[in-house]
Structure 1
Amino acid sequence: MSRKYFTKATDIAKRIVEERVKEGDIVIDATIGNGYDTVFLAKLVGKTGKVYGFDIQSKAIENTKAKLIESTLTERVILIKDSHENIDRYVKEKIDLVIFNLGYLPGGDHEITTKPNSTIKALKKSLDILKENGIIVLVIYHGHEMGKIEKNIIEQYVRELNQKKYTVIKFEFINQINNPPLIIAIEKNL
């Protein structure tokens, strides 16, 4: 039975993360949402690693905490109820990987979304604390009005990153309807 490789943006993002994250790594889930990526990252970093998880919504923190308890992974994760733009207030060490799932909380209030200004601030701060050869993965949901604005601002920002310091790649479905999410991955070269 053959395995499909290009099914969903989240599957592609997970494959990138799986390739990069190893036991002992320190990573950030910048938008924990319902906790699926947080649990996934906690398993990958192992007992000696650490995951910082950010979200502004209590429901996201509760959902994630429940999944971590169920998976017995709570000791590997620090959950922070704050905007990802404040990463530097909590994270004082170099990071191996940061993942963003931008948009709104699935099953939550669609009026509460990530915002371009706070995401760009978080992205800049993430680049500052990223280790050499570290990676940032952005899964951008742009099927709603704020998502379209955020996508355009992020794409403009990453296009201007110094190519000697960063390698930026974009994965985008071009034959699917309804604005499927796209992925931008940034690797720090220096």
Structure 2
Amino acid sequence: MDKKRKDSVIRATVDRAALLRGVLMLTALALLLCFGLKPSRAAAPDAEDGALTASDASARLSAECELLQRVTFSPCGHEMTRRQRLPAELAGMTKDELAAKYDQWVITSFSPAQVSMERALALYCPEHVVLMPDESGQLCIFRNRYGDALALVRELGVPLSDLPDDVQEEVRPGLGFDDEVTLEKWLESVQS
């Protein structure tokens, strides 16, 4: 066999092998698409799911219901989750009735056994102390002791008016610190 003819036979064999691999690959992909990637029954909504959703609207809270409340503290970005038993007077309420009672909260999940709700507060979380003036303009240290309101820790005996104007604007709505020592060092630095 001459050299040219031998090269064309080898090339034809290689081309046939590549063609066979390609056909097998396409066949495997087609089978995978037909059988392997079918959506499961759970992924597709059906008539039964609609019935469950409709019945959820009329679901009522049980007396043993667990209440999960997630609070986000906007100034510091920290979150706190409270887990408690549903107050007795709320047992038997529907989602709409509960939403009316907790109008400042967003209900994120609702079932007779468990309710989850969220709320954002414009307060520092209990991990911080807050420097701000009281009603008379005196600087005080406050702390969020209960999760939803600031409580007075102590008065500092320094009027807000003693601070530079730009610092007064920063402190007036409340300025959070990790601890009282850091707060007092900061206050000394802006007063000097």
Band of TM-score, shorter chain: under 0.3
Highest RCO, 1 vs 2 (Cα 8 Å, sep ≥ 6): 1
Q: Normalising to structure 1: TM-score of the pair?
A: 0.18
